[in-house]
Amino acid sequence: MIAEAAKDTLRQRGIRLTRQRQLLLDLLDKSGQHLDAEALYQMAHQKDPKLNRVTVYRTLKLLKEGGLVDELDLMHYTGDQHYYETRTKQEHAHIICLRCGKVEEFYGDPLHKLRRQVESMFGFQILIARTEVGGYCAHCQVLRSQEVELARRTLAEAGAVEGRKPARKKSS
Amino acid sequence: MIAEAAKDTLRQRGIRLTRQRQLLLDLLDKSGQHLDAEALYQMAHQKDPKLNRVTVYRTLKLLKEGGLVDELDLMHYTGDQHYYETRTKQEHAHIICLRCGKVEEFYGDPLHKLRRQVESMFGFQILIARTEVGGYCAHCQVLRSQEVELARRTLAEAGAVEGRKPARKKSS
DNA sequence: GTTAGTGCAAACCTTTTGCAGCTCT
DNA sequence: AGAGCTGCAAAAGGTTTGCACTAAC
């Protein structure tokens, strides 16, 4: 369980493990990934009605600065909020379908190569890296092209109707 | 000049090329890269005092949706605003120094490979991809370690002072 | 002449801050 | 005991929206 490791890390840094922080850490850890502050707040608030939204923001900031969670924005698919996931697994890219919102994760060589090249080419010390890709998933590509086709026809129809209206008075 | 191509694209889509849009497009095109909405507004507003901030936001949104500019956030180095650059050059990653704010651009194989792998592995149709890397540039690594060392010493000193204070009443 | 686009003001949403009181160690 | 943390209310920062007027085609 990641939350335990995170708690140790925090303890070692002399950061207090309050009831609220433990709850948030556990929720972040368990509940899948890509929670935004509001979603996390809702979950936490349900378990502890006294817990305030502000505490969620402060905790997330703390964890982010401590390198315990990573911040994403998933191409702002749903808005301008940020998403968080515990930093455990290998580095990975996030692939977001801009139609259905599904998020895939990509682990692979190119990410490591990129990292190594950036380090050696620029003498750069990398602390965080993130790759986000937006587009249409296999399923939505079909649906998307149907939608576009429909829109095209609707427009053409409207155009035809317009064409039937009395012509611009020029010949009248 | 990119702005011209962009203008053609817009015209073809039946989007009106207003005075304001032309100005914004030209500014985006010329003035280096990584402008945020406010910076772009300041520049535009200087040339055309009637031009409103809202128009900047609306134009950026239009250009972004049309794939003519890319939106970045440069690891939120300076805050939560977004940055924009015209989409012309090859795909590239942005490397941001979290100490001095310098932004480097990385062009390279790993980016293409990543793209190709995502397309083939997931059957994904990519519309936008972005990679941002945060850390310390070669120059700032040195300065950073000095800063950390200084902080460490300052803390140790404070700790020493604290140590001289009457001990926790246990032996008293 | 239409319809899209602009400016203005006001709203909106997410996140941060100031401060008094509470709590972990 | 006391610094660190929380909750509450209020502010901030960035961006969007409603509406009447203006301008591009």
Give the separation between CA B130 and CA B116, rounded to whole angstroms: 14
**Closest by Cα among A125, A132, A120 to A85:** A132
**Residue A67 CA distance to nucleotide C2 C1' (Å):** 56
- Predicted pLDDT of residue A169: 37
End-to-end, the C-alpha distance of chain A in Å comes to: 81
Amino acid occupying residue A141: Q
For B95, residues 6+ apart whose C-beta sits below 8 A from its C-beta are A118, A122, A124, B103, B104, B105, B106, B132, B133, B135, B137
- Predicted pLDDT of residue B166: 39
* Strands annotated E in A47-124: 69-72, 83-86, 93-97, 103-106
Chain segment B49-107, per-residue pLDDT in tens? 999 999 999 999 999 999 999 999 999 999 899 999 999 778 999 999 999 999 999 99
Q: Which residue is nearest to nucleotide D4 (CA to C1')?
A: A16
Chain segment A59-91, per-residue pLDDT in tens? 999 999 999 999 999 999 998 899 999 987 789
In chain B, CATH 1.10.10.10 sits at 1-88
**Residue A162 CA distance to nucleotide C13 C1' (Å):** 40
Contact B123, A138 (CB under 8 A): yes
**In the predicted model, is pLDDT for residue B158 greater than 80?**
no
User: Sorting pLDDT into bands at 50, 70 and 90, what band is A170?
Assistant: very low
Region A33-40 average pLDDT? 93
**Inter-chain residue contact A128 with B133, CB threshold 8 Å:** yes
- Predicted pLDDT of residue A172: 30
Chain segment B123-157, per-residue pLDDT in tens? 999 999 999 999 999 999 999 988 888 877 766 66
**Closest by Cα among A18, A6, A4, A80 to A52:** A18
**Closest by Cα among B167, B119, B67 to A93:** B119
A93 by DSSP, 3-state: which?
strand
Q: Where are the alpha helices (DSSP H) in chain B?
A: 2-12, 19-30, 37-47, 53-65, 109-122, 138-164
Chain segment A123-141, per-residue pLDDT in tens? 999 999 999 999 999 999 9
- Predicted pLDDT of residue A13: 87
Give the separation between CA B168 and CA B172, rounded to whole angstroms: 8
Region B34-62 average pLDDT? 96
- Predicted pLDDT of residue A150: 81
- Predicted pLDDT of residue A42: 96
The count of other CB atoms within 10 Å of the CB of residue B142 is 10
Q: Which of B10-14, B18-22, B90-94 has the lowest mean pLDDT?
A: B10-14
Q: How far is CA A60 from CA A21, A65, A85, in A?
A: 9, 8, 10
Judge whether residue A82 contacts strand D, using its CB and a 7 Å cut-off. Answer: no
The count of other CB atoms within 10 Å of the CB of residue A36 is 19
**Inter-chain residue contact B128 with A134, CB threshold 8 Å:** yes
Among A72, A83, A133, A137, the strongest candidate for a mutation testing the B interface, having the largest count of B CBs within 10 A, is A133
CATH code for residues B1-88: 1.10.10.10
% of chain A surpassing 90 pLDDT: 67
Q: Which residue is nearest to nucleotide D9 (CA to C1')?
A: A54
Q: Does domain B90-162 have CATH number 3.30.1490.190?
A: yes
